[in-house]
Amino acid sequence: MYGYGGYGGACCPVTPVAPPAYGVGVGIIAIAILILIALGVIF
C-alpha cells in the first residue's frame, strides 16, 4: 500500500530500486491522511 506503516521495501512493486526513505515518507503521508479521515468521521 505504497509504504503503509513505513514499510519502504515493498512500497512500489513497479520500482523495486526505490530508496526505503521514499516508502517511509509515503507511509507517513498515508497515515496522516488516515488520521485526518478518522478525525473527520469522529468530529
Cα end-to-end span (Å), the chain: 26
The pLDDT score that the predictor gives to residue 1 is: 40
User: What are the cell numbers at 7?
Assistant: 514499510
Tens of pLDDT, residue by residue over 1-43, are: 444 444 444 444 444 455 555 566 667 777 788 888 888 887 6
The pLDDT score that the predictor gives to residue 39 is: 84
The DSSP string of the chain is --SGGG--TTS-TT-TTS-HHHHHHHHHHHHHHHHHHHHHHH-
